Chain A
Amino acid sequence: MSEPSTEPAIQVRDLVKTYAGHPAVRGVSFEVARGEIIGLLGPNGAGKSTTLRILTGYLPATSGQVTVCGVDVASRPSEVKNLLGYMPENNPLPDDLRVHEYLHLRGRLKGLRRRQMAPRLDEVVHLCDLGRVRDRIIGKLSKGYRQRVGIADAILAEPPVIIMDEPTIGLDPHQILAVRDLIAGLRGRMTVLISSHILPEIEVTCDRVVIVNQGRVVAAGTPASLRHEFFGPGHYELELSGPLDALPALLAGIHPSLTLLPAPAPDHAGFASLRLTADPAAPDLREALVNALARDPRFRLRALSRTRHSLEEVFLAATTPKAA
């Protein structure tokens, strides 16, 4: 941690990993700034877990360079291990230890001194809401508590970087919410890299998203910028009744780039659901549209909204093989 804090927390450059000739990761590059919460998204088998394992130094990379806080993982793995808190996929835990025994052991292994241990354990147990199960045997805990024990372990030694592989897999919505709050609570203090294919959770917690597919980064950016990249900003949906032939002329009067997408026939009440697109550079045209359509007596407007694409749609758009 003597490194200057301007170094990115995680830097991955041209990472390649092949398992016995079968490529799992083919040229992944991304960067994570300090204090950022990053989501690594991708379908199953996209190379997420492999990338994370290489980041922790558990697996060696075939080629490419990975640094954590400026420390090269391949050449100085023992230093990197001090900088990381890692929770692997499926969160393996020993079944025969009590929660506080396990955390105590992990704390000792991670170099916490005896004197720091008790207050830090109390803090982590409180943070992860493990107070009630502190003295229970891990093998008898419910999945939600096990997951929280894993997270408690990852943040135990207060490492600058935390890596969690699918932290919310198999949890019920309440528990997902709790874990999400927990991760959000780390914002600013620690750099967090989580992998997942549960999208809403990523969208809420993460500052930035990296989408990988078939071992490559297919998209990266904030959820908003990804939406922009894949769908553009100017999508509107409206429900309208009236002479649709006259609409294009009216639209051109509002903004020259506004165009009408082919629309289905009107429903029984005479309203058609229409979709409009505008130039990505155009401003928000909702107000102008409402005003123009309300002023025109030929049209009756029932609903108008800007299309909000979910991260799911971005994810699908990014990971579906495009016809070249």
Chain B
Amino acid sequence: MRPFRILLAHELRMLLVTPATYIAATLFLLVMGFIFAGILETFAAAPQEGSPAVVFFQLFWLPVFFMVPLLTMKCLAEERRLGTLETLLTTPVTTPQVVLAKFFAAYALYLALWAATSGFFYILTRFAGQSAPLDLGPLLGGYLFIAVSGAFFIALGVLASSLTRNQAVAGILAFVLLLALVIGTRFASTLELLKLDSMATARSAIDYMQTFTHLEDFTRGVVDTRQVLYYLSGTTLALILAILGVEAKQLHS
């Protein structure tokens, strides 16, 4: 456990001292700010159903598709390309410790970026006051969803990074994995093939994996442990595969 703590502290420290982190954070907040302002404008123009928070979180996939690959593509691919993975793994450090440290560092940054968007809601209540009542429920549910699903998304990014030494390939692979998980399952549920009786199991499995349904439930304040379990087990599986990916590459390097 000690090497894990040292590595995680090192990774977090590197994130804090790297200018790239701040540039990425600024641009992320800029994009999210525009989206938020756009949502507010539509709400101001005409009465809408639901709260701005719900609509805001429904657009979670936009930053996820771009930020997650960018945050994670470097973590293992770069270490392997430079060869520093070899120096790292010949110290008393195990592969799981390295992968977990990379995962938690990226996850911490991901959470921090999303946490910063809560400033938007603060500004809204501060300046709009009573004229734009903000429901705390969807807000907390939405952030909880971001935190739970983010673990899985980041883990997929780490997995993609463990499979190649090329950052670009890792980034694209992470993007494709996320696309398949978020949009692909939604598309799959509309397939005619799944409407057959013999495909009932596959259909229920795909229904279970609907990220957008999970989001709806969370923002309605329904925290289903099955959904939480889905993301946590997905995270675990992706991290195990990432560890195996690093070790398999070692065997065949």
| Complex Cα–Cα for A277 and B88 (A) | 53
Number of B interface residues in the complex (CB < 8 A): 23
Task: Write out the residue numbers on chain B whose beta carbons fall within 8 Å of the beta carbon of A111.
Answer: 2, 92
Q: Confirm or deny: A145 has a beta carbon within 8 angstroms of a beta carbon on chain B.
A: no
For window 1-15 of B, CB contacts with A under 8 Å fall at 2-3, 6-7, 10, 14
Q: A94-B82, A109-B92 are in contact. Are A59 and B250 (CB under 8 A)?
A: yes
Q: Confirm or deny: B89 has a beta carbon within 8 angstroms of a beta carbon on chain A.
A: yes
Binary CB contact string for chain A from 13 to 39 against chain B (1 if under 8 A, 0 otherwise): 000000110000000000000000000
Contact across chains for A81 and B92 when beta carbons are under 8 A apart: yes
Q: A109-B92, A109-B93 are in contact. Are A20 and B87 (CB under 8 A)?
A: no
For window 77-97 of A, CB contacts with B under 8 Å fall at 78, 81-82, 84, 86-88, 90, 92-96
Q: A19-B252, A20-B252, A58-B86 are in contact. Are A78 and B94 (CB under 8 A)?
A: yes
For window 87-113 of B, CB contacts with A under 8 Å fall at 87-94
Contact of B10 among A57, A86, A105, A110 (CB under 8 A): A105
The smallest beta-carbon distance between A268 and chain B, in angstroms, is 58
Task: Write out the residue numbers on chain A whose beta carbons fall within 8 Å of the beta carbon of B92.
Answer: 78, 81-82, 109-111
Q: Confirm or deny: A195 has a beta carbon within 8 angstroms of a beta carbon on chain B.
A: no
| Complex Cα–Cα for A113 and B86 (A) | 23
Q: Confirm or deny: B18 has a beta carbon within 8 angstroms of a beta carbon on chain A.
A: yes
Task: Write out the residue numbers on chain A whose beta carbons fall within 8 Å of the beta carbon of B94.
Answer: 78
For window 68-97 of B, CB contacts with A under 8 Å fall at 82-84, 86-94
Q: A58-B86, A92-B86 are in contact. Are A81 and B91 (CB under 8 A)?
A: yes
Q: Confirm or deny: B130 has a beta carbon within 8 angstroms of a beta carbon on chain A.
A: no
A110's closest neighbor in chain B, by CB? B91
Contact across chains for A88 and B251 when beta carbons are under 8 A apart: no
| Complex Cα–Cα for A105 and B98 (A) | 14
A93's closest neighbor in chain B, by CB? B84
Q: Confirm or deny: A153 has a beta carbon within 8 angstroms of a beta carbon on chain B.
A: yes
Contact across chains for B7 and A92 when beta carbons are under 8 A apart: no
Contact across chains for B83 and A58 when beta carbons are under 8 A apart: no
Contact of B87 among A57, A60, A86 (CB under 8 A): A86
| Complex Cα–Cα for A58 and B95 (A) | 11
Contact across chains for B253 and A59 when beta carbons are under 8 A apart: yes
Q: Confirm or deny: A140 has a beta carbon within 8 angstroms of a beta carbon on chain B.
A: no
| Complex Cα–Cα for A20 and B251 (A) | 10
| Complex Cα–Cα for A20 and B252 (A) | 8
Task: Write out the residue numbers on chain B whose beta carbons fall within 8 Å of the beta carbon of A153.
Answer: 87
Contact across chains for B252 and A88 when beta carbons are under 8 A apart: no
B85's closest neighbor in chain A, by CB? A92
Contact of A109 among B3, B14, B86 (CB under 8 A): B3
Task: Write out the residue numbers on chain A whose beta carbons fall within 8 Å of the beta carbon of B14.
Answer: 96
Task: Write out the residue numbers on chain B whose beta carbons fall within 8 Å of the beta carbon of A20.
Answer: 252
Q: Confirm or deny: A228 has a beta carbon within 8 angstroms of a beta carbon on chain B.
A: no
Task: Write out the residue numbers on chain B whose beta carbons fall within 8 Å of the beta carbon of A84.
Answer: 90
The smallest beta-carbon distance between B46 and chain A, in angstroms, is 50
| Complex Cα–Cα for A56 and B10 (A) | 24
Q: Confirm or deny: A106 has a beta carbon within 8 angstroms of a beta carbon on chain B.
A: yes
Contact across chains for B90 and A108 when beta carbons are under 8 A apart: no
The smallest beta-carbon distance between A174 and chain B, in angstroms, is 26
Task: Write out the residue numbers on chain B whose beta carbons fall within 8 Å of the beta carbon of A92.
Answer: 82-84, 86-87
Contact across chains for A109 and B84 when beta carbons are under 8 A apart: no
The smallest beta-carbon distance between B243 and chain A, in angstroms, is 15
The smallest beta-carbon distance between B93 and chain A, in angstroms, is 6
| Complex Cα–Cα for A106 and B89 (A) | 11
Task: Write out the residue numbers on chain B whose beta carbons fall within 8 Å of the beta carbon of A86.
Answer: 87, 90
Contact across chains for B90 and A81 when beta carbons are under 8 A apart: yes
The smallest beta-carbon distance between B25 and chain A, in angstroms, is 18
Task: Write out the residue numbers on chain A whose beta carbons fall within 8 Å of the beta carbon of B87.
Answer: 86-88, 92-93, 153
For window 112-170 of A, CB contacts with B under 8 Å fall at 153
Contact of A108 among B6, B86, B250, B251 (CB under 8 A): B6
| Complex Cα–Cα for A320 and B18 (A) | 52
| A-B residue pairs, 5 tightest by C-beta | A92-B83, A81-B92, A86-B90, A109-B91, A56-B90
- Give chain A's interface residues, CB within 8 Å of chain B: 19-20, 53, 56-60, 78, 81-82, 84, 86-88, 90, 92-96, 105-106, 108-111, 153
- Give chain B's interface residues, CB within 8 Å of chain A: 2-3, 6-7, 10, 14, 18, 82-84, 86-94, 250-253
- Beyond the given A59-B253, A92-B86, A109-B91, please list 13 additional residue pairs across the A-B interface where CB-CB is below 8 A: A53-B86, A58-B89, A59-B251, A78-B94, A92-B83, A92-B87, A93-B82, A93-B84, A95-B82, A96-B14, A106-B91, A109-B6, A110-B92
List, sorted by A's number, 25 A–B pairs whose CB atoms are closer than 8 Å.
A56-B90, A58-B90, A58-B250, A78-B92, A78-B94, A81-B90, A81-B91, A81-B92, A82-B92, A84-B90, A86-B87, A86-B90, A88-B87, A92-B82, A92-B83, A92-B84, A92-B87, A96-B14, A105-B10, A109-B3, A109-B6, A109-B7, A109-B91, A110-B91, A111-B92
